[in-house]
Structure formats: C-alpha cells, structure tokens
Amino acid sequence: MGTFHQGKHALHGITVVVGTAGDELYVGRCDDVDERLVVLLDVAVHRPEDGEASAWLERAARFGVWPEHRRLAIDRQRVTSIRPLGEISP
Amino acid sequence: MYSPLLVKPMRDELTGIGFRELTTAEEVDQWMAEKEGTALLVINSVCGCAAGMARPGVRLALEHPARPQRLATVFAGQDAEATARARGYFADIPPSSPSMALFKDGELVYFVPRHRIEGRDAEAVAQDLRAAFDQYCA
C-alpha cells in the first residue's frame, strides 16, 4: 500500500475516503496521517445537505472526484474511518 | 516537468507493445476520429503510486485473446496539449492519471481511474481490463 516515501504514512499517495464524526465524507489523495491530522490533496467533500452519501460515494468509486480543495488537513479526532477508495466496489 | 530522459522508458513501455503515442491535440483528434471498432487510450503518468502498476497491467491484459483493435497513449504532465484534448473526449469524468479509457465505435464504454490502480498489483489491474475486453472487444 502506498509508495513508502520516507517519513510518510503507508497510505501516502493513495486516494482515500475519510469518514468523520461530523458526517462529512472526504475523498482525496492521502499525503500523510499522524496523531493530529489527516492531510489530503485534491479533495472533494460530501456534506449531509448534499444528499445521499452512498450515491456520491458510488460515483466517486466509479470515476473519481472533482477536487474542491488542493490541500486539506482534517483534525484526526474528528476522523472515524480512513479507507482506500479503490476498495469500494463501483 | 520531469526530464525526458527519465520519462522515455515509461513511454517505451507502452509504445513497445504497440501503443501509438499522441503528442499533439491534432494527433488526438485524428485518432479519435476513427470511430469504428474498439480502442484503448492510456493516460500515462510518472506517478509511482499507480503508474508503475498500470503499464505492466496493460501489457499483461493485452496478452488476452480479446483485446482492443487500436491502442494509443498520451502522457500527462509531459504532453499537456494532447492530454487535455484526450480528456475532452470524456469531459464529465474527473481527470486522473494514470487512467485508461476503452471506446467502442467511438463511445466510451469503460474507464479505469487512477484510484482503481493505486495499491494493486499488475495482475489485478490486468484482470479488470481483461473482463472489460471480454465484454466489449470479443
């Protein structure tokens, strides 16, 4: 998993889905994960008011996402799950 | 931009197995204008996270009896004009590289985005492609 860049988390370089306690879902390329932050690049966000998360995620799994943020750091305490987008069947 | 010397072996991995390299918008348009039959377009990339498995995956997949009739490639981050023009043919799909687009009679029928290559081995990438080739190229 990942490209094993020195000093980076094993998910570095992998497109991941980050679930949060706030119900936002983030899809982006993982730059790093540490005890404080999950840092993503080229990130799209799904918020509860955007509609069905499952449909959004299914389309993301099939085709990818249109990035809204070049770089985004998410407070690790808000993060409930991190998994590769490629593991989700489109 | 990476040195052409660094990139050349990555280009050669695909041209060496029969891919035509498209480096200008005109070349892309000419290639796309031929609509009949099946065609695979690979958006090549330097990215070690995925491209290192994409190219061998494509090579393995093309050993399958069912395979696209025409093969072409553009190189993201190197041949910007050709890559942008190629992506224009599937403009509703978010750009990613490496990625692969399979066309049948000019219509996009199957797409492999970067995240379906990342973290997988070449055989897994090839398996997905073979399944698509069986469905659309047999």
The yes/no answer to whether this complex scores an ipTM above 0.95 is no
Our CA-based measurement puts residue B48 at a distance from the nearest CA of chain A, in whole angstroms, of 7
Asked if residue A7 is part of any domain, the answer here is no
First to last CA, chain A: 20
Cα separation of B57 and B50, whole Å? 10
Asked if residue A80 is part of any domain, the answer here is yes
Burial A5-44 (b: 16+ CB within 10 A, else e): eeebbebbbbbbbbbbeeebbbbbbbbbbeeebbbbbbbb
Ranges under pLDDT 70 in chain A: 1-6
- Can you give the pLDDT at residue B6? 85
Asked if residue A5 is part of any domain, the answer here is no
- Can you give the pLDDT at residue A3? 52
Give B20's pLDDT tier (boundaries 50, 70, 90).
Answer: very high
Residue (of B35, B102, B90, B11) closest to B64 by Cα position: B102
Asked if residue A53 is part of any domain, the answer here is yes
Residue B17 in this model has a pLDDT that exceeds 90: yes
Give B108's pLDDT tier (boundaries 50, 70, 90).
Answer: very high
Residue range B4-136 in CATH 3.40.30.10: yes
How many domains are contained in chain A?
1
Inter-chain contact A14–B120, Cβ cutoff 8 Å?
Answer: no
> The domain containing residue A19 runs over which residues?
15-87
Cα separation of B51 and B44, whole Å? 7
Inter-chain contact B94–A1, Cβ cutoff 8 Å?
Answer: no
Inter-chain contact B118–A14, Cβ cutoff 8 Å?
Answer: yes
Average pLDDT over residues B91-110: 96
- Can you give the pLDDT at residue B49? 65
Residue in A with minimal Cα distance to B119: A1
Sheet with B99-104, strands from edge to edge, namely B20-21, B70-75, B38-44, B99-104, B107-112
**Chain A residues 33-62 with CB within 8 Å of chain B:** 61-62
Residue B129 in this model has a pLDDT that exceeds 80: yes
- Can you give the pLDDT at residue A8? 77
- Can you give the pLDDT at residue A22? 83
* CATH number, domain containing residue A32: 2.30.30.100
SS (H, E, C) A7-28: CCCCCCCCEEEEEECCCCEEEE
Map residue B81 onto helix, strand or coil: helix
Boundaries of every domain in chain B:
4-136
Contact A18, A46 (CB under 8 A): no
Give B98's pLDDT tier (boundaries 50, 70, 90).
Answer: very high
Residues of A in contact with B50 (CB under 8 A): 13
- Can you give the pLDDT at residue A5? 59
| DSSP assignment letter at A76 | G
Q: Tell whether B46 lies on the interface with A, counting CB pairs under 8 A.
A: no
Distances B52 to A48, B32, B93 between C-alpha atoms, Å: 37, 26, 22
Q: Output A13 or B110, whichever has higher pLDDT.
A: B110
Asked if residue A1 is part of any domain, the answer here is no
Asked if residue A4 is part of any domain, the answer here is no
Angle at B38 between CA A56 and CA B73, to 5 degrees: 75
Average pLDDT, chain B: 94
Cα separation of B67 and B65, whole Å? 6
Give rounded-to-5 percent helix, strand, coil for chain B: 45, 20, 35
Among candidates A62, A86, A90 on the partner chain, residue whose Cβ is nearest the Cβ of B119: A86
- B47 an active-site residue? yes
- Can you give the pLDDT at residue B2? 78
Asked if residue A77 is part of any domain, the answer here is yes
Our CA-based measurement puts residue A58 at a distance from the nearest CA of chain B, in whole angstroms, of 13
Inter-chain contact B115–A15, Cβ cutoff 8 Å?
Answer: yes
Asked if residue A20 is part of any domain, the answer here is yes
Give B73's pLDDT tier (boundaries 50, 70, 90).
Answer: very high
- Can you give the pLDDT at residue A7? 74
Cα separation of A35 and B19, whole Å? 45
